[in-house]
């Protein structure tokens, strides 16, 4: 394997491991503080700026690959939606720590690395970056929307309970 192809494979894997580790740490810390609608909404809004990558033509995957990435993201979001729960403590709403979240995140990283190794040989790295962005956003957006809906219902019930 020549040096440049080694770098093109290993560096994205290392970045994915770093980002996954950071996400795990952030999520674990978040469960120690009350949550809010703002904290639920910010991640997809912040991530949406990444769509600017598609202004660069080589990052635009073919339509079929886009659809595959969206379907995979939606499937992964179902797992996150199912395992994300809230709890009320001292009149505040907290994201409940899930033991499954760490396993899910590690599993997603492993799937990402395997897919990267499998399709990385056939698809250019810029297109793969676009596909993984689409997959991640298609996973994050429905998950956060579901969390926001649950949060709002719980908050409404909590406000109703405290005003009665």
Where in the chain are the domains?
3-163
pTM comes to 0.80
Predicted local confidence at residue 1, as pLDDT: 44
Q: What is the DSSP string of 46-77?
A: HHHGGGGGGGSGGG---HHHHHHHHHHHHHHH
Beta-bridge partner residues of 34: 94
Q: 55 burial class (0-12, 13-18, 19+ CB within 10 angstroms)?
A: exposed
Mean pLDDT (10-residue bins), the chain, 164 residues: 62 77 76 89 93 93 92 91 89 82 76 73 80 91 96 87 59
Sign of CA dihedral 119, 76, 74, 46: negative
Predicted local confidence at residue 164, as pLDDT: 54
Give CA–CA dist 65/161, Å, rounded: 48
Q: CA nearest 144: which of 28, 33, 61, 27? A: 27
The answer to whether 71 and 139 have CB atoms below 8 angstroms apart is no
Q: CA nearest 115: which of 68, 46, 164, 56? A: 68
């Amino acid at each position: 394997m020549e040096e440049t192809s080694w770098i093109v494979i290993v560096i994205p894997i290392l970045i994915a491991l770093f980002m996954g580790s950071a996400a795990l740490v952030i999520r674990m810390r978040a469960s120690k503080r009350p949550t809010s609608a703002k904290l639920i909404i910010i991640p997809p809004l912040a991530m949406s700026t990444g769509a600017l990558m598609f202004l660069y033509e080589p990052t635009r995957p073919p339509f079929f690959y886009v659809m595959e990435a969206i379907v995979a993201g939606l499937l992964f979001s179902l797992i996150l939606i199912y395992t994300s729960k809230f709890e009320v403590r001292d009149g505040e709403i907290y994201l409940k720590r899930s033991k499954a979240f760490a396993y899910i995140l590690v599993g997603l990283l492993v799937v990402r690395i395997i897919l990267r190794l499998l399709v990385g040989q056939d698809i250019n790295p810029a297109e793969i970056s676009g596909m993984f962005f689409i997959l991640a956003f298609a996973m994050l957006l429905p998950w956060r929307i579901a969390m926001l809906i649950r949060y709002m219902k719980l908050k409404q019930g909590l406000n109703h309970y405290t005003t009665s």
